[in-house]
Amino acid sequence: MQQVDLTTLIALTSELRKQWIPARLEQVYQCDRNTIKLALRTLQKRGWLTLSWHPQAARMGMGEAPPRVPDTFTFSQQLIHQLNGFALVAIEQTSPWERVVDLQFAQRPHEPPEWHLYVEIMGKYSNVILTTADRTIVTAAHQVNANQSRVRQIQTGKPYELPPQLTGPTPSLQETQAHWRDRLSLIPGPLKSTLVKNYRGLGSSVVLEMLEESKLDPNRPIETLVETGWNRLFQAWQRWLQALETETFQPGWRPDSGYTVLGWGMAQASASVQKVVDEYYTAQLNQQNFQQIRHQLLQKLSSLRAKLQTKADVFIKQMSASDQAENLRQQADLLMANLHQWKLGMSEIVLPDFETERPIAIPLNPERNAVQNAQALYKQHQKLRRSRNYVQPLLEAVRQEINYLEQVEATLETLEAFHCADDLQILIEIREELIQQQYLSDPDYRVPSKGKTDFYRCQSPSGWEVLVGRNNQQNEQLSFRVAGSYDLWFHTQEIPGSHVLLRLAAGTSPDPQDLQFAANIAAYYSRARQSNQVPVVWTEPKNLYKPKGAKPGMVVYKHEQIIWGAPQSISNAG
């Protein structure tokens, strides 16, 4: 993931100063453990300033409004308590070549600042720290004690100290090409690492852009560089320094899906550095979170299903034992009918079956008489019958839980890759559902807002709309709220998968090709998507009902018809 380097930070602060100074702070919201948003209002507009100390995506800049869920973090509460109603009067770098930005807050514009919010964009050491006017720390995103760092502690009540300055010379427009060349040539090595090591303020992404602009290989040994190459590289170097000095930037997207603020190698221009940075890191973090949440959920579901299957196996074994109850009653009846054949000290007696006269061996306790042995057999019979009546509903409940978890797992398997923000939101909704169903615990869980994502939508060959549920919440909504009297409902037969709805107009009937298409869709968005043919049931929505106490997304249907779906036809077409 491309990190915010000094060049990008200067471009961001330049835009923020031009567009948002002065601005009134109205609200502070913490989105997660690494990000807060400040609501700023000027005379013309209102927006949300994102401050992030994420280890791979630390940044600042205007972004989207936060979600409408409760903020339970203490850091944001401390900030709003101190800064609410204050004016943001300055955004300044603490040093020209350091990635620390000072956001200054005063009672009114043109008054001296009473609060400083220091934003340190330094990779895994990034932080956001609030201090008073005399630089006494009031709160920080990360508290750092003496055990964590001998060099620099960040703790409430202590004076704020700037991070240790980097060693090495700072780039300068006044430096001659000969002096610059001699410095770089002093120690042989690849062009990229030589530039980064010899000067402060150079991020790897800017160096790569500079070398690409100069048509030079980043891994080329610097000692092999010829005069024309040195000239091209120095020209790019000077252009970079001039952009920093004049704060003239050209934000845009690069062909490798990264971004640039210098316009070099740009595939598509953008109107704002902040827009580019916000979109890039939002997409990158969404994709990262998608993979992480999906992996965690699949692992958890696999573990839960294994435990439930073990429990089910125990119940099945108990049920199997209870199947012998009738045999015990039959043996007791035979013994009572043939008391005269019992003899003292017998450990077994063989008696003919009442109907087939097949000999049946009945084990006996030699210390008991025939009646006592029969009574013991009757007691075992009653115990096993009671056990069956007790175990059977437990087994059914466990099987329903397994079916539910398999349904959730099938949904996750259809979400193979991240394509848009809705894909991540679907995963979050699945995780929220599992938390609500008490399969997961999350100390940071907050009540979700409803109706955030939409169904999958496509069209049948005749142009009818086909809707596909993307999780259990959507499946229920599709089946019991969206489905109309003229629609048709599809689902794979006894196979976990999505609910599919073929929407029809009043008084119309679907063509066979429409039914087949909807069946193919239902088969594709199921656990059997790798099969060639999958049985799919379809019926009218009025034939669906939800059993009392059933898990989300679990329905029962009747008057169904079966059609064979071909998931590979959807896969090949897609």
Kindly tell me if the per-residue pLDDT of 447 is higher than 70.
no
291 found inside a domain: no
**Region 548-574: what's the mean pLDDT?**
85
Place of tokens 């709805």: 501
Instruction: Kindly tell me if the per-residue pLDDT of 373 is higher than 50.
Output: yes
Q: What does the angle CA 246 – CA 62 – CA 266 come to, to the nearest 5 degrees? A: 55
Structure confidence at residue 574 as a pLDDT band (50, 70, 90) = very low
Which range of residues forms the domain containing residue 28? 6-140
Among 16-25, 65-74, 457-466, the least confident range? 65-74
147 exposure class (CB count in 10 Å sphere: 0-12, 13-18, 19+): exposed
- Rounded to the nearest integer, the mean pLDDT of the chain is 90
**CB 407, CB 365: distance < 8 Å:** no
Same domain for 196 and 256? yes
CATH number of residue 254's parent domain: 1.10.8.50
Side by side, the strands of the sheet bearing 259-260 are: 259-260, 252-253, 268-269
Same domain, 251 and 331: no
- Do both 15 and 109 map to the same domain? yes
Beta carbons within 8 Å of 407's beta carbon, 6+ residues apart: 472, 496, 497, 553, 554
- Which of 271, 303, 334 is the endpoint of a domain? 271
CA distance 532 to 568: 6
User: Which residue from 260, 191, 204, 266 is spatially nearest to 232, judged by alpha carbons?
Assistant: 191
Identify whether residues 100 and 183 lie together within a single domain: no
In a domain, 229, yes or no: yes
Q: Are 183 and 136 members of one domain? A: no
216 located within any domain? yes
CATH of the domain at 56: 2.30.310.10
| Domain identity same for 569 and 477 | yes
Same domain? 130 vs 214: no
Dihedral pair phi/psi, residue 138, rounded to 5°: -100, -45
Give the burial string for 78-105 (b: 16+ CB within 10 Å, else e): bbbebbeebbbbbbeeeeebbbbbbbbb
Last residue of a domain, one of 377, 400, 423: 400
Residue 122 lies in a domain: yes
Is there a single domain that holds both residue 65 and residue 181? Answer: no
- CA within 13 Å, CB half, 161: 10
| 301 located within any domain | no
Query: Which of 242, 271, 300 is the endpoint of a domain?
Result: 271
On whether both 393 and 329 belong to a single domain, the answer is yes
pLDDT at site 443: 57
Average pLDDT over residues 471-500: 93
The answer to whether residues 117 and 22 belong to one domain is yes
Contact by Cβ (8 Å): 1, 56: yes
Residue 346 lies in a domain: yes
In this predicted structure, the answer to whether residue 573 has a pLDDT above a threshold of 50 is: no
Nearest to 537 by CA among 502, 491, 495: 491
In a domain, 16, yes or no: yes
pLDDT value for 446: 53
Phi/psi of residue 328, nearest 5 degrees? -65, -40
- pLDDT tops 70 at residue 505: yes
pLDDT value, residue 288: 92
The answer to whether the beta carbons of residues 432 and 448 sit under 8 Å apart is yes
Which residue's entry shows tokens 């994709």? 287
Q: How many domains are there within the chain? A: 4
Domain membership flag for residue 165:
no
Assess whether pLDDT exceeds 90 at residue 450.
no
Among 99, 97, 128, CA closest to 115: 128
Q: What is the pLDDT of residues 124-183, one digit of tens each?
A: 999 999 999 999 999 999 998 888 888 888 999 999 999 888 777 899 999 999 999 999
> In the chain, what is the straight-line distance between the N-terminal and C-terminal CA atoms, in Å?
29
489 and 564 together in one domain: yes
| Same-domain check for residues 136 and 189 | no
Q: What percent of the chain has pLDDT over 90?
A: 67
